[in-house]
Structure 1
């Protein structure tokens, strides 16, 4: 870490109470940044299982470990408070960034009481700093414990992190999922399993783990299109295939935000099947959205300020209206008067890796995340889909790569790329198989920095020596 010149900070005896408190907070934050410079360790869920229950726990370290530990272990309990033996361990770390697939399977995921999908009428406990599940990872120098992390849920992180609720949405790092409703379910089609599933777990579990942006690509079941669409005729689409019904997902989202009090962004911006030149179907979809989640959706006042952009809002702005959902929709696709719906916010700028190879992906992200004066992104909300397209897999590998295989290429790179300063300029980042990344933890650290900066604008500047 760079040396810090504290000469500009007054003697604590000459400071006001407020200044002393802010200076102390800043020093604590600097200390936390120093801690982050140590070798981070974390857990992910492998992509080589037919289901999440059959998938293996993976140990990760990096990026760029400056002081590599002697060994890293996977434990069933917190090793800082127990003498339990490791379930698996990695010795002789040769690389500064790496991962190790253990032979330990995840098994059936069970969350704390009240946070499971089938825990009806049960009030759950709050976990603002997360709740560890049954897997811990720890790094050691000999028998000296260096760092501990766990596989955890974060159902309350965004609303309970100090000062984050005051930051405009356009300035937050919001972790999201791409094709959020395309999760590994009891689907019999191998084609859908291999090329359409993009998440290990359902939307309910995604939100429990800490995802706060959902990408909702919608299609119509054309076999029923001759009759007026019913609620169950709208489906989640990925890779031009119908994967799962929309309505149960909307119900899960509603129950989650009512239970947790968190703010969730839902992006209805893609309609690959059955919507071309059919504004009536957009109206039908709006009716379903209004019915299922409309009472929890933020209402914009297009009359008093027609140019207002929803990404200017903070979470507290939304909460003050008694709402918990922000719905993004290409309003121009709707006929009048549905296009005047107050529960829909205009689309944000959206970018994707698409058919880029790894080198081009890095260059493209460097261009986007640098946020220079000539950038296509200025002071606005934007969404980045960190997903390698099927077409690119065909071009590079001369054969179709499954969604898991494509995610295994880009997600490891993404965790490294976002582990540095790019996390401070990111807005919404949506990924396939988010459980194969540590994107939520990265977002939390970045947002702590952003919230601290916003809350302490008038702090005495520190001169950072190179």
Structure 2
């Protein structure tokens, strides 16, 4: 009896100390513990909530969960009866994954983070949506987590990451970050995200992969290849607004391609860099002396009171005198539509990469449709993201945990848990 009581007490305090809901900035670093849980949002159009849990368990020593449950409130709040919204037997799902029929949709962002042009402040720290996942052994809670935003995770953990270098931490990113809305009939092959850039930043994304096109009097647009998505200037102003509200969050903007027109001339680069200068120059971190080794520490960046790093993938810009722009970031993009083939490509990239011009580098951890997929309307971007996202979470949490990885960019980022994994890994 005494032994069981001690076990209950230990589990209670262990769970309490790992919960994001008890303080505004508590992060759990025990990522690979048996029964550890997290919520994701389906990359498919249904946006159903997905239950995920760690199944690597030793029955001799671990509290192997019997049940995985979804709640509308924190289940540790024992002040009221709290039946689960969804409850499943863990043993029936050996992969540690279950897709519910609870739709996430596009709810308002908590903590006053819903975008407004004239907003002057928002609440720091983590903030939960009303969705909580728990793993249970009989009636004991093993782990509890909410679906949350992390708008100020760098600031929240400044005492833990301040001495770390920007090229040696895990930075959650998105691929084709601006491709989040379009009306073209091939949208399933053009949209790589279902949340706009503001929302990505609020959730905790810190690397933005942008491609730019030019359309005469209409100006510069964010593109996906030759398809224009949305005007560039409003997006830059959202990034700037976020930076004003969260000035210690380091945001990396990678202007990686300029696909339209096909002859993106020196004159167009000159016009684009002038626009970027007008919008971001005064809040941008200059690269002078910082693009060596693994780059500057967070403390060194914060000491300069600049929080946006603008990288530009065109060598001509150095001739144009834009010394405030960083050299290009090398992206390791496999152009694969098979999970195993992409994993093999990324494993090789991790072992062989060498950061030369820029201390940062990016694993592009997304699958790519091929020409026949577009012709026959198969393997669209949502389906491919749905196929890969859970694997990427496991790779970063487990197999790559001892590797020196930097930026990890994905499609439909809410379908994985890279943000929370990155935070937890970075503060170790």
> Which category describes the TM-score, using the shorter chain as reference length?
0.7 to 0.9
Q: How does 1:319-358 map to 2 (within 5 A)?
A: 319-334=302-317, 336=319, 338=320, 340-355=321-336, 357-358=338-339
The offset of 1:362, in angstroms, is 1.8
The corresponding residue for 2:97 is: 99
Does the residue aligned with 1:140 lie in a helix, a strand or coil? strand
Q: Deviations over 1:415-456 (max 9, x none)?
A: 12112141442100110000000000110121112xxxxxxx
The offset of 1:259, in angstroms, is 0.2
Does the residue aligned with 1:169 lie in a helix, a strand or coil? coil
Does the residue aligned with 2:345 lie in a helix, a strand or coil? helix
The corresponding residue for 1:264 is: 251
Whether the 8 Å CA contact 1:280–1:335 is kept in 2: the answer is no
The offset of 1:392, in angstroms, is 7.5
Whether the 8 Å CA contact 1:220–1:275 is kept in 2: the answer is no
Matched, 1:42 2:21: no
The corresponding residue for 1:28 is: none
Matched, 1:413 2:391: yes
Q: How does 1:142-157 map to 2 (within 5 A)?
A: 142-157=138-153
Q: How does 1:64-463 map to 2 (within 5 A)?
A: 64-66=56-58, 67=62, 68-82=64-78, 83-118=81-116, 120-127=118-125, 130-161=126-157, 162-183=159-180, 185=181, 187-191=182-186, 193-221=187-215, 224=216, 232-261=218-247, 262-274=249-261, 276=263, 278-301=265-288, 308-309=291-292, 312-334=295-317, 336=319, 338=320, 340-355=321-336, 357-369=338-350, 371=351, 375-377=352-354, 380-391=359-370, 394=373, 400-424=378-402, 425-449=404-428
The offset of 1:399, in angstroms, is 5.1
Does the residue aligned with 1:166 lie in a helix, a strand or coil? coil
Compared CA separation, residues 294 and 378, structure 1 to 2 (3 A): closer
The offset of 1:391, in angstroms, is 1.6
The offset of 1:280, in angstroms, is 0.8
The offset of 1:190, in angstroms, is 2.5
The offset of 1:178, in angstroms, is 0.4
TM-score under structure 1 normalisation? 0.78
Q: Deviations over 1:348-383 (max 9, x none)?
A: 2220121352222222222233x3xxx233684211
Compared CA separation, residues 122 and 61, structure 1 to 2 (3 A): same
Query: Residues of 2 paired with 1:444 and 1:393: CA distance?
Result: 38
Report the structure number with the largest CA radius of gyration.
1
Whether the 8 Å CA contact 2:174–2:409 is kept in 1: the answer is yes
Where structure 2 has 5 or more consecutive residues not aligned to the other structure, the ranges are: 1-27
Q: Deviations over 1:20-68 (max 9, x none)?
A: xxxxxxxxxxxx766742222111111232xxxx521111122635554
RMSD: 2.4
The offset of 1:300, in angstroms, is 2.8
Paired residues in the alignment total: 390
Where structure 1 has 5 or more consecutive residues not aligned to the other structure, the ranges are: 1-31, 450-466
Does the residue aligned with 1:419 lie in a helix, a strand or coil? helix
Query: Residues of 2 paired with 1:391 and 1:63: CA distance?
Result: 33
Q: Deviations over 1:207-239 (max 9, x none)?
A: 000000000111122xx3xxxx5xx52111224
2:54 aligned to which of 62, 73, 76: 62
Query: Residues of 1 paired with 2:324 and 2:294: CA distance?
Result: 14
